[in-house]
Structure 1
């Protein structure tokens, strides 16, 4: 068996004078829970009462309208718009009458659109009153 020579200078742990100093702080006690106010608070958004929702979907795209806002999914990419950042939502049939076109106008004026193909024109005609009812619930005209 061959023996290797001991490592030269620079190998191994640092000498004591170069070792890091221990922390200069005392451990803190764990955080206490904040006292709860005596009044009732609104439930968090995920526990808010569920309102109506709308979903239109095809092979690649989807439009969702619910209590949180409007979401578009296009070819696997999702963008969500919360109600406070939406100036308006517009929708119509595509020029060939085979798709639903939904547009969101952002508060800063930017415009986003999603197109969902309907398998049949009757399906497209079903989407219009559903979408109108849901949008009317969250964004009443008045």
Structure 2
């Protein structure tokens, strides 16, 4: 007489109704699908993730900002730091990594040149065309005021 293996432990589906010689008939487990199991919740309903999805992160601080933009380039100065965009490529500098920010008119007087000196000595520059040319004279006091707000002299 051959001996049958012991029935599987709890959690492996219902036990066969009886033990007879020969292989037991195959029966699919009768467990509900995982998504319907009461002890598990879908990831999207997890409390910590749901709170994050509903409340997007806010900027660290509100404050003045400066924006100079032309067809290809842009300079943004705000509470987070300075950002340059040049022909579709962007680079951002946070205030803690900036040693200094400099600006001036281009030699022909048609553009604003802004430079960021990184704490490690690297130098980055962005040039934004001022059209009409009088816009350049509007940008200078605005940029000076915003930079003075975030990086006061002294």
Q: Which one has more relative contact order, counting CA pairs under 8 Å at least 6 apart? A: 1
- TM-score grouping bracket, smaller chain normalisation: 0.5 to 0.7
What are the residue-to-residue correspondences of 1:54-93 with 2, within 5 Å? 54-93=66-105
Once the two structures are superposed, what CA deviation does each residue of 1:7-38 show, in whole Å capped at 9, x if it has no partner? xxxxxxxxxxxxxxxxxxxxxx99997xxxxx
What are the residue-to-residue correspondences of 1:6-85 with 2, within 5 Å? 46-85=58-97
What TM-score do you get using the length of structure 2 for normalisation?
A: 0.63
RMSD (Å), alpha carbons: 2.0
Unmatched 5+ stretches in structure 1: 1-28, 34-44
Cα separation, 1, equivalents of 2:88 and 2:47 = 43
Aligned residues: 104
Largest Rg, 1 or 2: 2
What TM-score do you get using the length of structure 1 for normalisation?
A: 0.68
Cα separation, 2, equivalents of 1:110 and 1:47 = 26
Q: Is the aligned partner of 1:135 residue 2:147? A: yes
